[in-house]
């Protein structure tokens, strides 16, 4: 998403090294390499995305290296490859189309599938396993904090009651429980299960944990005039990005680390919205390292 805008801001060049922290299906990486980037290191914690991108981007040869890892490990990933500084970094946060469109991954309430929700399917318990043991108060806090769901306590109570009657192992089961608990009649702008599924996904994958530390690490790895582009998809992510960038740009001692390239977030244009309605919530922010 926002591929053209991201590439324009990153200004790829033949001598440059760039990091795509959330490779996904490789859209941003392909565009960077096509625009002349000399080398791209693509990172993703989803084994399926890594495998698919390796196959689809093989034509770029040794200009591209793909790494199965969490982008928050960026410093160790680069240092282990003797890369001490890069010219650009991009992070497209949140769930990818590959994940949300695959019923078997368990991210979507629109398609019934196993209740998994792990971005890295090679590690950790599934959402079904974690929901089987979480206490009601903690679950309500998760749904409220990460989903900003006003009916969080009612929904958490309903989930616990349902799981105590019958194991919740399918997305369809969970969505039905949440919809009944959330209530509401007639037309609604969004599905009543939306915020709860978002909250559980963020909680499962710790999507907000360490985001500010990652941003600081990415900036520290940039060469002077190097650029960091971040695309966020919900207010909690975007708030962290905005505040971290402003803190680096408006230091009290006057020694700014970065310059803001986007005073306000950049959203998709009408053409992209027509092609991809999911891009509606995308918000791009970018900074340039000063020294």
DSSP symbols for 172-203: HHHHHHHHHHH---S--SS-TTHHHHHHHHHH
Q: What does the block give as tokens for 243? A: 């505040």
At residue 190, the pLDDT reads 81
**In angstroms, rounded to a whole number, what is the distance separating the alpha carbons of residues 57 and 288?**
28
pLDDT value for 186: 52
Task: Please give the structure tokens belonging to residue 160.
Answer: 């616990």
95 or 145, which is more confident: 145
What letter does residue 285 receive in the DSSP assignment?
A: E
Determine the Cα–Cα distance for residues 231 and 266; give it in Å rounded to an integer: 9
C-alpha distances in Å from residue 129, one per residue of 117, 135, 219: 11, 13, 37
CB burial of residue 79 (10 Å; 0-12, 13-18, 19+): exposed
Reported confidence tier of residue 102, pLDDT bands at 50, 70, 90: confident
- With a cut of 70, say whether residue 145 has pLDDT above it: yes
**In this prediction, what percent of the chain has a pLDDT beyond 90?**
82
What predicted TM-score, i.e. pTM, was given to this entire model? 0.92
Where in the chain are all domains bearing CATH 1.10.150.170? 106-205
pLDDT digits (tens, 9 = 90+) for 223-248: 999 999 999 998 999 999 999 999 99
Q: Which two tokens stand for residue 19?
A: 């990091």
In this prediction, residue 184 has a pLDDT band, given cuts at 50, 70 and 90, of: low
According to CATH, where is 3.40.50.150 located in the chain?
Answer: 3-94+208-289
Which CATH number is associated with domain 3-94+208-289?
Answer: 3.40.50.150
How confident is the model at residue 185, as a pLDDT?
Answer: 57
Res. 291 pLDDT band, cuts 50 70 90: confident
Q: Where are the beta strands (DSSP E) in 13-125?
A: 17-20, 39-44, 64-68, 86-92
Rounded average pLDDT over 100-104: 85
pLDDT, one tens digit per residue, over 29-70 is 999 999 999 999 999 999 999 999 999 999 999 999 999 999
Give the pLDDT score at 251: 75
User: Quick check: 252 pLDDT over 90?
Assistant: no
> How far apart are alpha carbons 287 and 230 in whole angstroms?
9
The matching CATH number, chosen from 2.70.170.10, 1.10.10.10, 1.10.150.170, 1.10.287.70, for 106-205 is: 1.10.150.170
41: Cα within 13 Å, side-chain hemisphere: 27
């Amino acid at each position: 998403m926002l591929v053209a805008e991201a590439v324009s801001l990153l200004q790829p060049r033949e001598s440059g090294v760039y990091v795509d922290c959330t490779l996904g299906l490789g859209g941003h990486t392909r565009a960077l390499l096509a625009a002349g980037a000399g080398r791209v290191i693509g990172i993703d914690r989803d084994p399926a995305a890594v495998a698919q991108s390796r196959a689809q981007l093989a034509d770029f040869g040794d200009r591209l290296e793909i790494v199965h890892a969490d982008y928050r490990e960026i410093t160790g990933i680069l240092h282990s490859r003797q890369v001490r500084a890069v010219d650009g970094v991009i992070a497209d946060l949140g769930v990818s189309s590959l994940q949300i469109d695959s019923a078997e991954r368990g991210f979507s309430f629109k398609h019934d599938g196993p209740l998994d929700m792990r971005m890295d399917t090679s590690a950790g318990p599934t959402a079904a396993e974690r929901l089987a043991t979480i206490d009601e108060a903690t679950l309500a806090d998760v749904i409220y904090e990460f989903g900003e769901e006003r009916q969080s306590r009612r929904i958490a109570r309903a989930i616990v009651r349902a799981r105590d009657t019958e194991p919740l192992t399918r997305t369809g089961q969970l969505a039905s429980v949440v919809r009944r608990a959330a209530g509401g009649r007639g037309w609604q702008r969004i599905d009543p299960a939306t915020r709860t599924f978002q909250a559980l996904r963020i909680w499962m994958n710790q999507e907000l944990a360490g985001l500010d530390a990652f941003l600081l690490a990415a900036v520290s790895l940039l060469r002077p005039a190097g650029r960091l582009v971040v695309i966020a998809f919900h207010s909690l992510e975007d708030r962290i990005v905005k505040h971290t960038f402003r803190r680096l740009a408006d230091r009290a001692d006057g020694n700014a680390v970065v310059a803001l390239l986007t005073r306000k977030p950049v959203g998709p244009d009408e053409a992209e919205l027509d092609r991809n309605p999911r891009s509606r919530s995308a918000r791009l922010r970018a900074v340039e390292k000063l020294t």
